Amino acid sequence: FLLAQGGDFAFLWFSFASQSSVISTELMNLLIVVLVLTMILNPLLIMFSVRMVRTLFVDCMSPLGE
C-alpha cells in the first residue's frame, strides 16, 4: 500500500531538467504535482496499512501455543 515517496531534492532536479530543456515546463509541473501528492499521501497510507495489518492479522500475532 505504500508509494515510492519523492524527496525534496527532486524539486531541484525537475527545475534543473526544465531549465536545461531536458523536459518541458508542462511535464515539470506534472511531476511536481505527483511529487507533492506522494509526499502528502505516503504518511497517510502508512497509518492506514498499520491499522489494516493489525485488523487482518490479529490472530496471527498471538504467541504459539495460546
For 11-26, the pLDDT digits (tens) are 889 999 999 999 999 9
Three-state DSSP state, 48: helix
Q: How far is CA 3 from CA 6, 17, 41, in A?
A: 9, 23, 8
Q: Which of 4, 13, 1, 9 is nearest to 39 (CA)?
A: 4
Burial environment of residue 46 by CB neighbours within 10 A (0 to 12, 13 to 18, 19 or more): middle
Q: How far apart are the first and last CA of the chain?
A: 31
For 26-50, the pLDDT digits (tens) are 999 999 999 898 888 888 888 888 7
